[in-house]
Amino acid sequence: MTAPAVPWVDDPFSSAVHAGRGPLWLRRPEGSRIVLDIERWCAPAAGADHDLLFRCSRLSAPVLDVGCGPGRLVVALLALGVPALGVDITAAAVARTRRIGGLALRRSLFDRLPGEGRWGGVLLADGNLGIGGDPDAVLRRSAELLAPGGTLLVEVEPDEVDERTTVRVEGADGRLGPPFTWARLGAAAAVHRARRVGLAEAERWTSHGRRFLALRSSQGTGRQVARATPGGPAGG
């Protein structure tokens, strides 16, 4: 029996990461599309990335980049002297991260990961709060990974949305990957959900059209947060 296709693995995303270019989209059932900025992800850190990296450099090391993609943030953190590790479910993304000098593992956010409960910072950039279409589970698992007092740095949507939908990765040739559930949250919705898992807003900022939150864990959050698995693939 043929194994079912896996989103972010058996779809145009892997090919785009390997080539370093798009275009690439997430297609909704009614036909509208969300642009995936694959060229930016495959390029060196730039623009709003620098504000994110600066905040990472002020945290208690080390930093875990969840859904690291082609690895630009991991490589930039290491260049700043910040111990960093990326995790991603896409083999092409992990290979590219390693090829450009980063450290990465092919894992899901919901797999067992190194240093659980001891990370000074966890990154959810480039829409990765939407992993599995279950932001509550993503925030809960991220809180579990953090050391007490650690910080989750998360990119949210520029607009105040709270959307959960089924999407498929679409390539330039019109090829579609398998359907999966994805979520998009603005700052207000993300902060509201974060409070449920012991993460309090410490800062929010906008840079180069992108919006971010710093969410700090309370003392003792860490590994005491129960693990949950969302309803779809994660970590890409």
Tokens of 32: 């509208």
Q: Is-contact 69 126, C-beta < 8 A?
A: yes
75: alpha, beta or left? (left if phi > 0; alpha if psi -120 to 50): alpha
Residues in the chain: 236
In a domain, 22, yes or no: no
Tell whether 106 is covered by a domain: yes
Give dist(CA 102, CA 169) in Å, integer: 26
Continuous segment of H or E residues that includes residue 165: strand 162-171
pTM over 0.75: yes
Domain assignment of residue 171, yes or no: no
Cα separation, 106 vs 100, in Å, equals 16
Q: Is residue 60 part of a domain?
A: yes
Whether residue 25 is contained in a domain is answered as: no
Beta bridge partners of 84: 63
**CATH code, domain with 150:** 3.40.50.150
Q: Which residue range is the domain that position 187 belongs to?
A: 46-164+181-224
Whether 140 is covered by a domain: the verdict is yes
Q: How many domains does the chain have?
A: 1
Per-residue pLDDT of the chain (236 residues; tens, 9 = 90+): 678 899 999 999 999 999 999 999 999 999 999 999 999 999 999 999 999 999 999 998 899 999 999 999 999 999 999 999 999 999 999 999 999 999 999 999 999 999 999 999 999 999 999 999 999 999 999 999 999 999 999 999 999 999 999 999 999 999 999 999 999 999 999 999 999 999 999 999 999 999 999 999 975 444 433 333 333 344 55
Q: Which amino acid is at 41?
A: W
The answer to whether residue 95 is domain-embedded is yes
How far does CA 95 lie from the centroid of its chain? 17
